[in-house]
Amino acid sequence: QKEVEQNSGPLSVPEGAIASLNCTYSDRGSQSFFWYRQYSGKSPELIMSIYSNGDKEDGRFTAQLNKASQYVSLLIRDSQPSDSATYLCAVSSGSARQLTFGSGTQLTVLP
Amino acid sequence: DADVTQTPRNRITKTGKRIMLECSQTKGHDRMYWYRQDPGLGLRLIYYSFDVKDINKGEISDGYSVSRQAQAKFSLSLESAIPNQTALYFCATDTGMGTEAFFGQGTRLTVV
């Protein structure tokens, strides 16, 4: 059973809308949580990290973490066509704090 | 210059050939990883190394081997390439302190 699950998508939203990306994880002891953006054929780039329960905002991006529900989400406000990419959720867990990646959600923002 | 550098960036090779993908990093991190990415399958871990003397298999290590030549260098070999190893390969590093991973630019490998 995969340890990090993402809604597989693809997800399409109109320009200017809010895009909501979700991720659940199985290891209750997980410590760190990351969202990466990956354009087609390019390497993943970190856009958000979150370590404690609640919301963390950075510009148009908000990460939300709920450790009790083992759930982490990414909201993208005022979505732009340039946000069209695959978004990878990654979770650090275990004594080795090794990262496990979800399979990604493909987001398309329609002009 | 990139902090994590992969060579080559693109490679076409024939079935049965041995090929090596190289990764070097200037982050000073002890931990290095090799991932494979196929469309729709996310990143799958091939091998990882937590220091120069430590090598561990990931979820899809069959058909691959690695060498950690130094703290900064971690190479991935395909002993006898086959077409279903055609994929995008990424090297990554992290600190082991629960912070993010840093990725190389990727190597697009095609086995014909």
Q: Judge whether A97 and A31 are in contact, CB under 8 Å.
A: yes
The reply to whether residue B90 touches residue A34, judged by beta carbons under 8 angstroms, is no
**pLDDT per residue over B21-45, tens digit each?**
999 999 999 999 999 999 877 899 9
Which stretches of chain B drop beneath a pLDDT of 50?
Answer: none
Q: Which of A88, A19, A82 is nearest to A49 (CA)?
A: A88
The reply to whether residue A101 touches residue B43, judged by beta carbons under 8 angstroms, is yes
Q: Which of B77, B83, B79, B75 is nearest to B110 (CA)?
A: B83
Which residue in B100, B102, B103, B109 has the most chain A C-beta atoms within 10 A of its own C-beta, making it the best mutation to test that interface?
B100
Q: Judge whether B22 and B78 are in contact, CB under 8 Å.
A: no
Q: Is residue A10 reached through a cis peptide bond, with omega within 30 degrees of 0 on the bond before it?
A: yes
Residue A66: alpha-carbon gap to chain centroid: 13
Residues 6+ apart with CB under 8 A from B43: A44, A88, A101, B35, B36, B37, B90
The reply to whether residue A97 touches residue B103, judged by beta carbons under 8 angstroms, is no
Q: What would the two tokens of residue A79 be?
A: 């979505």
Q: Which amino acid is at B50?
A: F
Distance CA B60, CA B42 (A): 13
Residue-wise pLDDT tens for chain A (111 aa)?
558 999 877 999 999 999 999 999 999 989 999 999 999 999 999 999 999 999 999 999 999 999 999 999 999 999 999 999 999 999 998 878 888 999 999 999 999
Q: What would the two tokens of residue A68 be?
A: 């009790």
Q: Judge whether B104 and B23 are in contact, CB under 8 Å.
A: yes
* Sequential DSSP letters for B32-55: EEEEEE-TTS-EEEEEEEEETTEE
